[in-house]
C-alpha cells in the first residue's frame, strides 16, 4: 500500500535516457564484447539534454529514482556522473554484478517493489521491451527516444543481461 504523505516517484533509466553512450558503443560491436571497456568509459558520457530537462522538471513534484541495468561495480562512477550533471540526488537501483537476467525482468521487479510503498508517477526508459512490460503492468511510461538506437546495446540489455 502506498503512503500518500510521500512524494510520488519519477523513475529514470541512465544509458541513452540521461547519458549518451554513443561514444562507447564500439566496445560492444565485436565479440567478445569488451564490457570492462564499455563501463569504464561511462564517466565520459555526455548528458542528453532532453532527459536532463525531464529529470529536473520531474523533481519539482516527484522524488527521483534512478533505475539502471549497469552493474553495481559502476556505482561510484554513476554517482559522480549524476552529480557532475547537476542532477538531483536519488536512490540508484543497479544490477547485481553477476545478474544476467534481461533488463525488462530486473527493472519490472524493482518497479513492483517500489510501488508497494510509493506511487510511481512515471518511468522514463529507452528500452522498448522494458517500456512495453512496464505499460502492461500498469505503469505510466515515457519512451526516451532521443538517441539513435543501438543494436549492440539492445542485445546487451535483452539477451546478455548486461545493461
Q: What is the pLDDT of residue 159?
A: 55
Q: What is the pLDDT of residue 150?
A: 62
Q: How far apart are CA 25 and CA 46, in angstroms?
A: 13
**Residue 82 Cα to chain centre, angstroms:** 12
Percent of the chain past pLDDT 90, that is, above it, reads 71
Q: What is the pLDDT of residue 153?
A: 59
Percent of the chain past pLDDT 70, that is, above it, reads 88
Q: What is the mean pLDDT of residues 71-81?
A: 96
**Greater model confidence, 102 or 112:** 112
Given a cut of 90, is residue 160 above it in pLDDT? no
Within 10 Å of residue 32's Cβ, how many Cβ atoms?
A: 5
Given a cut of 60, is residue 4 above it in pLDDT? no
Identity of the highest mean pLDDT range in 8-22, 92-106, 148-162: 8-22
Alpha helix (H) ranges present in 29-68? 35-40, 49-58
Which residues make Cβ contacts (< 8 Å) with residue 132, sequence separation at least 6?
104
What is this structure's pTM?
Answer: 0.88
Amino acid at each position: 500500500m502506498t503512503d500518500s504523505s510521500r512524494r510520488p516517484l519519477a523513475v529514470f533509466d541512465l544509458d541513452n535516457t540521461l547519458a549518451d553512450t554513443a561514444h562507447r558503443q564500439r566496445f560492444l560491436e565485436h565479440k567478445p564484447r569488451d564490457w570492462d571497456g564499455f563501463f569504464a568509459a561511462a564517466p565520459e558520457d555526455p548528458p542528453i539534454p532532453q532527459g536532463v530537462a525531464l529529470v529536473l522538471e520531474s523533481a519539482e513534484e516527484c522524488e527521483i529514482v534512478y533505475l539502471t541495468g549497469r552493474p553495481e561495480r559502476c556505482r561510484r562512477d554513476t554517482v559522480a556522473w549524476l552529480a557532475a550533471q547537476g542532477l538531483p540526488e536519488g536512490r540508484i537501483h543497479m544490477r547485481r554484478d553477476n545478474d544476467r537476467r534481461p533488463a525488462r525482468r530486473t527493472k519490472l521487479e524493482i518497479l513492483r517493489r517500489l510501488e508497494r510503498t510509493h506511487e510511481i508517477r512515471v518511468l522514463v526508459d529507452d528500452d522498448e521491451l522494458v517500456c512495453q512490460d512496464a505499460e502492461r503492468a500498469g505503469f505510466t511510461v515515457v519512451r526516451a527516444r532521443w538517441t539513435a538506437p543501438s543494436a549492440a546495446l539492445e542485445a546487451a540489455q535483452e539477451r546478455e543481461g548486461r545493461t
